[in-house]
Each structure stands twice: as C-alpha cells, then as structure tokens.
Amino acid sequence: MLLQRFLIRLLTMLITLFGVAIVVFVVIRVAPGDPIAMMLPPGATDDDIARLRALYGLDKTIVQQFFIWLSGVVRGDFGTSISLRQDVLGLVFNRLPATLELAIVALIMAVAIGGTTAVLGARERGTAVEAGIDIASGAALSIPDFLWGLVLILLFGVLVPIFDISGRVSPQLDLPFATQFYFFESLLRLRFDLTWDLLKHMLMPAVALALPLAAIISQLLKQSLKEVLDLDYVVLARVKGFSETQVILREALKNAALPTLTLVGVQFTFLIGGTVIVERLFSYEGLGNMAIDAVINRDLPLIQGIVLVFALLFVLINLVVDMMYALLNPRLRHG
Amino acid sequence: MSACLDIANLSAVLPNGQRVLRSVSLAVQPGEVRALVGESGAGKTMIGKAVLGVLPSSVRLVEGDMLLEGEDLGRLQPKARRTLIGARTALIPQDPLTALNPSRRIGPQMTDRLVRILGWSGEKADRRTRQLLDEVQIRDPERVLKSYPHELSGGMRQRVLIAAAFAAEPRLIVADEPTTALDVTVQKQILRLIAALQREHGTAILFVTHDLGVVAKISQKVSVLYAGKVVEEADTAALFAAPQHAYTRALMAATPRYTDPFASLKPVDGAVLAGLAAEIAAADLAWRRPHG
C-alpha cells in the first residue's frame, strides 16, 4: 500500500519533469536569438555558420534534437555548455550548493522571523503590539525581494558598510573545503572565521529573499493561531493553569501550523525562483546567476540543464511538504 | 467553614454597555452540587467562565467579588490566579469532540496539569490517571492513553475529560452542559458517572444546564437564571415542590415529558417574559445611575 503510493508519486514526478523538459526545450529554440550568431564574428560566411550548426547538432529538427538530448540525459549526460565549453552537469553541480545554502538560510530566517512574530502577535492580540506586527509584515510583503536587495545594499553596503555586497566569499581566503557547501562545511569544520566571512556575504541576499516569505508566514500563522485559540481544548488548557505562551506553544501551534505549512512549501519554490535575480544583484556565484548568463549567451544546453535541476528541486520540495504534513497531522497517518 | 465558591453581586458588560450578568450572587458549599439552569443566552455558561478566568475578551467584569475557598480571585495577580484556578478547579466541557487537542495523545493531555502545574512526578501522575480511567469505567486504559482523540467515540472522550477533571482532586468543578452534545443513551450514563464520582470525591460542582430533568437528578441546590439575573434560588427539592417565581413555573411547564410524548411543546409563557423584561429594564436603569 505504502509502496504503491510511493511508486505513483515517483511516476507523477517523472511525468512532471518530462513535461518541463519538453516546454523548455521547445521554447528556447522557438524564441528569437541564435547561439551560433553569438559565437561567430560579424564577418563569418554562411559556410562557417552551417558548419558550426552541424557541430552542435542544431541543423536537425527540434524533435530529433530533443530525443538526442533526452537519450543523453537518461545516461546522465546533459551535454556541453556552448559558452563555457564545459560539461553542463558539472557546471550545475558546482553552483547548485551555493544556491541551496542561500535558499535554506533564507528559509530558516523566514520561518524564525515569521513564526516568532506570529506567536507574539497572537499572544498580544488586540493590542498595539499586534498592530505594529501587522504594519511591519504588510510593508515587508508589499516590497519584492529584489527591491529589498537594493534597499539593503544601500543601507548596509553604502551608508553603513558592515556587510559585503558582492560575491560569495572574500577571494583572498584559503578555502579548505571538500564540497561546494562552503557555509555548512565551515560550520562542521568549526572554522567560524570562514563562517563569518561567508555570512557577511550571504546575509543581505538571504534577508532580501526571506522578508516577503517571513511576512506571509507571520500573517497566515497568526490568523490560524487566533482561530485555534478560541477552541475548546485551548480554553481547557487555560483552566488547567497554563500561561498564554505555554498554551500557544503546546496546544495551538502544531494545529495552526498545518495550513501554513502547505503555503510555505509553495512559497519556498517562489523563493528559489527569486534567487535568480537576487544572486545577480549581489554577484553571488550561484545557479541563478549562472542561469542569467546562460540566457544572455543563448547557451541552450546549459539553460536546459539549469531549468531541469530547478524543476527537480520544486518537485522534491513538494514531496517533503506532503511528508511533513502527514507527520504533523495524526489523522492522516493511518488510512 | 467558608464556602467553596462565593460569588457576590457579579456584573459583566459587553463593549456596547449591555449587561450580560446582572448582580449575580450565589454560593457553592464544599461537596455540594449547585445547578445553574436557564435558557440559552441566560448567562449560565458566562458565570462558569468568569469563575475559571476564561471569559471571552469582549466581556468585562465591572463589579462584584468571586471568592474561591476564601481567596479573592479579583485581587490576585494574573499568574497567581491562574495557578490557583489550575490547582483547585477543573472544567468538564460541553463538547467532548472539540475539547481534546486533535494532535496530541490522550495520555499527556490528561497528565500535563498534574506534572507541569501541580509538580507531581510523571510516575505518580500516570498512576493517578489510570486509577481515574478505571473509575470512569474505561476498560483498556493502555490503549486509550496512547490514542489520539479521533480514535475514540464521543462518550469515551467525555469519560476521559471527566477522569481528567477529577484527577487533580479539585475542590470545585464547573460542568458546562456536559451531556448536551452526547446522544440520549450516553447522556444518562455520563450523568450517573459524574454523580458517582462527585459523591466519592466530595467535590463541589457548579453544574450548568438547560435541562430541568438533569437538575432534579444531580443537584442539591439550584439557581434559575434569566437574562443574566438570578430570578430564583432554592433547594432543588423545594424548587420542584413549590416554585416561587413565575418564570420558574413557566420554565417547568415548558419542559417536555416522556410520559406524554404527544403533548405539543409549549413555549415559555409570553406574559411572564414581558413582566420579567420590564423588571430587568427597571433594574438596569437603577444600576446605571451610580455606575455611569
């Protein structure tokens, strides 16, 4: 039963990825812009163009190209980047950890800020504290992440320059890392000097990504907390002698978190989408920054590889959210 | 010996100034069951919530005292009041389906007050809980304690809530229409169960109900409420033998009887209500003058 559900789930994931692959493949070939034209100097002859076209397999029909590419992907070969002349999979895996670290740190910040303000707002419901939280979350939500990025650069990069506004790590540092997960690895290796340097680079883009999500979490969680706080079992807990904070944390939070969790899953995928522009803004060497370069250079294999990896991430996030939902809700666990 | 609960002159208002409790006074002696009876909206549940400190935020107490075993609840700091209420009182709620947290197992929900408020050891709390589950005739405490609420029937859940209420040996239990949400066959068992536990533990109960039949079965004293005002209070036996107030008589006349199921249902007599409304309006006017 469980195995069957797992297999169905896996199959739908594969179908989703296949659909994404088709759409991306067709769209970037139909859209204007020719990678060959980008590679050759202005005086190139038609003969040169045709030869290069054949070299990259672009002289075949879209359907033929697609199946050639797909048969490579199935074997783990995503082709060679046209602009960087390197293996696409290697390039993507080299950059993916940077983006994942940024997104995860942003998510943790969003959950921490959003969760704390929601609990505080629910506890102080009807007071000036709640009104202040509402105003702050309204402001955080109405400004998109890339604009927050600019605001933060202005504040903490220019006016009070305490953070680094560009790159992932200071270039003069020796990095002893075995993986590309610099931030997490620096924590594990207890190299907190490096952690601090990485954090100084990562903090502003992470905050820019986190603020709108934190505001959504805060508003939604506070609303469901306030609904749960009127229920009978919460009243009963108050009669037992528990304080309002204890009541919120022990009785209300878990039940109120369920509707928020679904939304956070969806919003987290938006956050990952947001890394593309925010990484560019902070010259952060992640996958999103590379995606923009790939699009500018019409680097078809690289675009396909990056989009497919993003799609895989989204599908996996949804899977994790569903699993957490079942974990938090005992009524879903059996049957 | 002081009363277990002594409410004197308690008034509460809504934000629009409307009084929902009108100078309510009543006392519950140790070990006594006092019924609060009235129609819906009469304020009987409100009195229970006021005692337990869980009034909705829109309702404000404007005058009167509540003494729990001689301690003035109004004068205590919030934390001290909360702890006192947690230690000496308990609530048997109306709807067992919503009164248990759906995402927590029964066991911790029954023992959390004993351990975290009263400071018992986990082992002692566990032993006590099993003993009480036995007293409410739950045969397989092992399974019940490990269950989530949705795995138990309504009657089972109410038994669990009753066991939890008596577990800490409170001096006063507020029972807020504990049988209303249950189906008729279960109602009787639950009522009998509460009465038996009450006798055994000598707990005072403030029993909120709209059902005069329940009043007759369980209580020694009764207060009849209308529109937040106590219109009559008496020994239960005396009240049923000779109701003094016209509203009490009208309420009794309106109660359907199993012995005559085909008699048409009578509403409470309109003339009586009109008289009461005039009486209350006059009282409100007199009350407002000194209270602005």
d(CA A121, CA B91): 28
Crossing angle of helices B154-167 and B122-135, rounded to 10°: 130
| A293 Cβ neighbours under 8 A, 6+ residues apart | A83, A299
Give A-chain residues touching B93 at CB under 8 angstroms: 232, 235-236
- How do the pLDDT tens digits run along chain A, 335 residues long? 667 877 888 899 999 999 999 999 998 888 877 778 777 787 788 888 888 888 888 888 889 999 999 999 989 899 889 888 899 999 999 999 999 999 999 999 999 999 999 999 999 998 999 999 999 999 999 999 999 999 999 999 889 988 988 899 988 888 888 899 999 999 999 999 999 999 999 999 999 999 999 999 999 999 999 999 989 999 999 999 999 999 999 999 989 998 898 888 889 999 999 999 999 999 999 999 999 999 998 899 999 999 999 999 999 998 888 888 877 777 776 54
Instruction: Identify the CATH number of the domain defined by range B5-291.
Output: 3.40.50.300
d(CA A104, CA B13): 50
Higher pLDDT, B197 or A263: B197
Chain A closest-CA separation from residue B262 CA (Å): 37
b/e A35-62 (16+ beta carbons within 10 angstroms → b): bbeebeeeeeeeeeeeebeeebebeeee
B117/A126 touch (CB, cutoff 8 Å), yes or no: no
Per-residue DSSP letter, A251? I
Q: Based on the number of CB atoms within 10 Å of its own CB, is B136 exposed (0-12), middle (13-18) or buried (19 or more)? A: buried
Per-residue DSSP letter, A250? I
A239/B101 touch (CB, cutoff 8 Å), yes or no: no
β-pairing, B60-68 with B5-13?
antiparallel
Give B-chain residues touching A125 at CB under 8 angstroms: 57
A239/B54 touch (CB, cutoff 8 Å), yes or no: yes
Q: What residues does each domain of chain B span?
A: 5-291
In which residue ranges of chain A is CATH 1.10.3720.10 found? 96-333
Please report the pLDDT score of residue B123 as a whole number: 95
- Give how far the C-alpha of residue A82 lies from the chain's centroid of Cα atoms, to the nearest Å: 26
Paired tokens of B202:
């000598």
A233/B100 touch (CB, cutoff 8 Å), yes or no: yes
CATH pick for A96-333 out of 1.20.120.80, 3.40.1160.10, 3.90.420.10, 1.10.3720.10: 1.10.3720.10
d(CA B182, CA B92): 13
Query: What are the φ and ψ backbone dihedral angles of A239, each rounded to 5 degrees?
Result: -65, -35
Q: Assess whether pLDDT exceeds 70 at residue B260.
A: no
Q: How are strands ordered across the β-sheet holding B71-72?
A: B19-28, B5-13, B60-68, B71-72
CB of B160 closer than 8 Å to CB of B153: no
